[in-house]
Amino acid sequence: MTAPAAAAETEGDLIVRREGAAGIIRLNRPKAINAMTYEMSLGIDAALDRFETDPAVAVVILEGAGERGLCAGGDIRGLYESSKAGGDLGKMFWRQEYVMNARIAKYPKPYIAFMDGLVMGGGVGLSGHARHRVVTEKTKLAMPEVGLGFFPDVGGTWLLTRIPGEIGTFFGLTGQAMNGPDAIFARFADAVVPSTKLPALREALTAVRPRATSAEVDKVIAGFATGESAGPIAAQQASIDRWFAHDRMQDVFASLSRDDSEFAQSTLKMLNEKSPRGMVVTLKLLRLARNAVSLEQCLVREYRAALEVFRSDDFREGVRAAVIDKDRNPRWSPARIEDVTPEMLAPYFREIGADELVF
């Protein structure tokens, strides 16, 4: 959504200001669909510090500049270049980002995310842990990291395992996008608001009383919401639960292969395009996350795995094929699920000593 003009106190890739009772955090890289850089992450943290202690700020609103989306994820190109050069941007960026994701989940003031348009990867980390998550008819929410030789991070393994049945396993492994009502059903969002009503909702939120409660904010949002609570994916739950109920990727593939329905075969096609190693790592992280007692516990595991991914050929190859050369023809290593060995997996789940993520 394009927000109304006002004098900005901080310009550049991030705009931070107060409008009435609302602290505004606007991601401001519209040409890159607001992909988040390390510096933007630091700026968001600083904004959260400022708004938390400002008595004039009752709520915080996260939004994206332009018409295309809230956030297309992290700055993948920068991470790719650092990985190629043996740099440490991944280590710095993900540490900062994951700690901030946990902070958002516990933020003491109502934090409202406008998830209009594209919301992917790191954008889910900024919005999916919010207390109030607003989607629209334009929302396309996805965690497509397995297609980059990666896995759903930014607390994605926590969010994906809070969903009924195997819907989260399906979304995490296929990278399939959710529409707004899908996101409600999958517990990634709380209310569908027509995009044409977002400016009026935004104005109403800037006018809430000081120290407004979450219940009061919910009431404001409900006044603009459609009430939708389930999208197309809900009708497929029984099939998805059957196909993805397994703990080994080989068994997921076998289950899908035995079903000649159009949906099963299209799902199989999506999986066949993904990184075999990425899928196996993702499935294991998702199964471990089911027994996690906190978001932080999942983020610690994700950070360990992310550092290993950053060193991997599959990550560089996935980004090359999708973002750099754009040939959409990654050469995964190994190329087959059956060739992903326990020895390959072990480093992704190993404790990392002094580099562990600490909250």
Return the closest-CA partner of residue 55 out of 216, 214, 210: 210
Reply yes or no on whether 39 is catalytic.
no
Please, is 25 exposed, middle or buried when counting C-beta atoms within 10 Å of its C-beta (0-12, 13-18, 19+)?
A: buried
Reply yes or no on whether 75 is catalytic.
no
Which residues are CB-neighbours of 110 under 8 A, at least 6 positions away? 58, 59, 60, 131, 132, 212, 213, 214, 217
Residue with tokens 């969002």: 189
Return the closest-CA partner of residue 279 out of 346, 182, 186, 345: 345
Reply yes or no on whether 247 is catalytic.
no
Which position among 153, 190, 302, 317 bears the catalytic label?
A: 153
* Residue 39: C-alpha distances to residues 13, 42, 247 (Å): 9, 5, 38
Residue with tokens 């109030």: 132
Which position among 74, 123, 172, 175 bears the catalytic label?
A: 74
Do the beta carbons of residue 143 and residue 175 sit within 8 Å? yes
Which position among 116, 145, 182, 302 bears the catalytic label?
A: 145
The identity of residue 195, as a single letter, is S
DSSP, residue by residue, 241-305: HHHT--SSHHHHHHHHHT--SHHHHHHHHHHHTS-HHHHHHHHHHHHHHHT-SSHHHHHHHHHHH
Return the closest-CA partner of residue 352 out of 298, 315, 309, 300: 300
Do the beta carbons of residue 195 and residue 225 sit within 8 Å? no
Return the closest-CA partner of residue 121 out of 271, 289, 349, 322: 322
Residue 179 has a CB neighbour count (10 Å cut-off) of 20
State the sign of the Cα–Cα–Cα–Cα dihedral 289, 154, 120, 107: positive
Using DSSP, state whether 66 is helix, strand or coil. Answer: coil
Reply yes or no on whether 278 is catalytic.
no
Which position among 90, 122, 175, 318 bears the catalytic label?
A: 122
Active site residues: 74, 122, 145, 153
